Amino acid sequence: MLKIKKIVELRKILESYRLNKNIIGLVPTMGAFHAGHLSLINRARRDCDQVVVSLFVNPAQFSPGEDYNKYPREFESDIQKAKAAGVDLLFAPNEDELYPRKLLTHIEVADITDCLCGKTRPGHFQGVALVVAKLFNIIQPDKAYFGEKDWQQLKVVERMVYDLNFPVEIVPLPVVRDKDGLALSSRNQYLNQVEKRQALVISEALKMAADKIKSGQRYAVKITGLVEEMIAKTDGVELEYFSIRQPENLTEVKVIKRKVLLAIAVRLGKIRLIDNILVEVSDNVSDYAKEQNPSGNNYRG
């Protein structure tokens, strides 16, 4: 596996891949690899001739006071994991390489960043869009792999690629969970044993909400109330948001009629964790909902 820090050097190697008509897959990461990253790498390995992984803890996507300085940096073990997973090239630039001077250019994907994490982490998605756009321009991958755990990030990247005509296919892959249901995240490392147990309420709340929808509940406000209650009963866990959204444009759903995204963010002290699931429903408002609202009027609560 090649380890490259400099853009000029990287470009020379990528040039040779392209001359050989190789399909190049990029897995953008901030390191501290876990099974979620490995699922992206494995899929890229299957799809592509050359697998490039970028490893860069991007300061532009952290607000002042967030965990940029504390963010896990495990360069040596990441190298071993990347090698074992069959990565061809690890691009791990220093900050000066990607941000040599103050940037005057910004990328803002509007509307879909106004809600959920975009609301509670102002500037975060501009930072993500910026670094992903830079990586796409530097590496020019044919395909790029993103986890659905960061659903809003995935939608931001997809929209940026569409709006700016980046010639790259975005390949989304499902959330990877541990055996207890906790969605894998590099930030899970911050959790002690007690917090790890408390954090299970995140996926349990999503599952409870999905079950309510599957058994006929269609009113988002009711489901949100149940989730709020469940989280409030769990020591040490504070709800930042739970929201039911249309999966593609992230607009809020009040009455569930088709596939929805259930998105949640919580805090355990200073640790912030997010998760989401998609729930499929048929177009028809269920019998349960009709029973609750025989007049068929839209809920106006």
| Between 30 and 274, CB nearer to ligand PAF | 30
Chain position carrying tokens 């691009």: 91
* 19: CB partners within 8 A, 6+ apart: none
* Cβ atoms of 231 and 204 closer than 8 Å: no
93 binds ligand PAF (CB under 6 A): no
- Does 29 bind ligand PAF (CB under 6 A)? Our answer is yes
Helices (H), the chain: 7-19, 35-47, 75-84, 95-98, 116-120, 124-139, 151-163, 193-214, 220-232, 287-292
Q: Binder to ligand PAF among 78, 88, 148, 150 (CB under 6 A)? A: 150
Q: Which is nearer to ligand PAF, 30 or 244 (CB)?
A: 30
Check binding of 130 to ligand PAF (CB under 6 A): no
CB of 132 to ligand PAF, least distance (A): 6
Site pattern 57..76 for ligand PAF (x: CB under 6 A)? -x--x---------------
What are the residues whose beta carbons fall under 8 Å from the beta carbon of 136, sequence distance 6 or more?
26, 144, 161, 166, 168
Catalytic choice (34, 37, 106, 124): 37
Q: How many other C-beta atoms can be found within 10 angstroms of the C-beta atom of residue 138? A: 19
Query: Based on CB atoms, which residue is closest to ligand PAF, 78 or 150?
Result: 150
Q: At what angle do helices 220-232 and 193-214 cross, to 10 degrees?
A: 160
Structural tokens at position 184: 């894998």
Minimum CB distance to ligand PAF smaller for 142 or for 148: 148
Contact flags string 153-172 toward ligand PAF, x per CB under 6 A: x-------------------
Residues, the chain: 301
Alpha-carbon gap, residue 1 to 84, rounded angstroms? 9
Among positions 273-292, residues that touch ligand PAF (CB under 6 A) are none
In whole angstroms, how close is the CB of 61 to ligand PAF at the nearest point?
6
The least distance separating ligand PAF from the CB of residue 57, rounded to whole angstroms, comes to: 8
Total residues contacting ligand PAF (rule CB under 6 A)? 10
User: Measured from the CB of residue 5, what is the shortest distance to ligand PAF in angstroms?
Assistant: 17
* Binding span for ligand PAF by CB under 6 A among 125-133, 168-176, 212-220, 286-294: 125-133
Question: What is the rounded distance in angstroms from the CA atom of residue 5 to the CA atom of residue 25?
Answer: 18
- Verify whether residue 124 is a known catalytic residue: no
The reply to whether 132 sits near ligand PAF by the rule CB under 6 A is yes
- Report in angstroms the alpha-carbon separations of 175 from 15, 109, 209, 293: 33, 23, 17, 35
CB of 127 to ligand PAF, least distance (A): 8
Q: Which residues of 104-124 are buried (b: 16+ CB within 10 A; e: fewer)?
A: eeebebeebbebbbbeebebb
Minimum distance from residue 292 beta carbon to ligand PAF (Å):
40
Does the footprint of ligand PAF cover residue 53 (CB under 6 A)? no
Residues that bind ligand PAF (CB under 6 A): 28-30, 58, 61, 128, 131-132, 150, 153
Which residues are tagged catalytic? 37
